[in-house]
Amino acid sequence: DAGVTQSPTHLIKTRGQHVTLRCSPISGHKSVSWYQQVLGQGPQFIFQYYEKEERGRGNFPDRFSARQFPNYSSELNVNALLLGDSALYLCASSPGDRLAGYEQYFGPGTRLTVT
């Protein structure tokens, strides 16, 4: 079975631009969550979606948004990119409706560089 997949692998954008990152969960998993990991730091929680509904949101500005599709894949959108948005963006899937109590399966990440 395929694990969690993310695309693209790497991305370079300019300040002020918009970016869309994509994630496909493990087959059968209905929950997708997104994380930002700045170099040298631990990941930070951005969003969790379950059955196309937002179930959790971290402390990120409104420039960050996400959605989940009927096939449970997900997109993370970031508007008006800042240099500080340069990071590894990780997606994880799980079978449950909550983050708590379910093991998270992480994708390989998308490395975003904003210049």
Partner 1 sequence: KNEVEQSPQNLTAQEGEFITINCSYSVGISALHWLQQHPGGGIVSLFMLSSGKKKHGRLIATINIQEKHSSLHITASHPRDSAVYICAVTGNQFYFGTGTSLTVIP
Stretch that binds partner 1, among 16-24, 37-45, 61-69, 78-86 (CB under 8 A): 37-45
Q: Which residues pair with 23 in a beta bridge?
A: 6, 74
Nearest distance from C-beta of residue 92 to partner 1, angstroms: 8
Query: If binding is defined by CB under 8 A, does position 28 make contact with partner 1?
Result: no
The verdict on 84 binding partner 1 (CB under 8 A) reads no
Q: Which pair of structure tokens corresponds to residue 86?
A: 């340069």
**Which of 56/67 has CB closer to partner 1?**
56
Distances (CA, A) of 100 to 34, 48, 96: 15, 11, 9
Q: Which residues in the 93-112 window bind partner 1 by CB under 8 A?
A: 98-106, 108-109, 111
Query: What separation in angstroms does the CA of 98 have from each of 49, 55, 104, 111?
Result: 9, 8, 10, 26
